[in-house]
Amino acid sequence: MEIRTTGYGHPDAEKLAAEVQQEYVQRYGEADLTVMHPDHFEPPAGLFVVGYLDDVPVACGGWRVKQAGPDDVRDGDAELKRMYVSESARGRGLARTVLRHLEQAAAEAGLTRLILETGTEQPEAIALYGSEGYLPITKFGYYKDSPESLCFGKSLG
């Protein structure tokens, strides 16, 4: 898989983001209502990548820098967002490849921890993050009060 830094506003990123939103509708009954803008993923505030197989966009993910705030969010944190692999490309380790790429880029950008929110209806994501060393953290973000919300973090470096 070739990983390209595209930004969140790129047409391929938008296509995959729309697919992941449909995944959320199927699993949770509604799209993710978290506020996201393309500029959240523009360096140095963030990064968004798309993975391609034979020039076809099949995977994506990004991070955006967070500032210290409530719920144990700290300076030096970046939040993982829109990690996704198209259904036709699943089972090949592509999500793990994107995740490791994002971790390396975040560490190179001087960030100290990646944090994320996922949900109980995404067992594949929970298994991936657990196998990559992500541990439960205090819930944060739009869905912090939802019983379906799970939050994880991993120190970088």
122-152 pLDDT, tens per residue? 999 999 999 999 999 999 999 999 999 999 9
**What is the set of domains in the chain, with CATH numbers?**
2-155 (3.40.630.30)
66-115 pLDDT, tens per residue? 999 989 999 999 999 999 999 999 999 999 999 999 999 999 999 999 99
Quote the CA–CA distance of 127 and 146 in Å, as a whole number.
Answer: 20
Q: How many Cβ atoms are within 10 Å of 154's Cβ, its own excluded?
A: 18
54-75 pLDDT, tens per residue? 999 999 999 999 999 989 999 9
Quote the CA–CA distance of 104 and 109 in Å, as a whole number.
Answer: 9
Q: Where are the beta strands (DSSP E) in the chain?
A: 2-5, 46-53, 56-65, 77-85, 113-119, 135-136, 149-155
- The answer to whether 64 and 72 are in contact (CB under 8 A) is no
Closest to 78 in 3D by CA, of 140, 16, 18? 140
pTM exceeding 0.85 = yes
C-alpha angle 3/1/17, rounded to 5°?
A: 60
Angle between helices 94-108 and 123-131 (to 10 degrees): 50
Structure tokens at 98: 């994107």
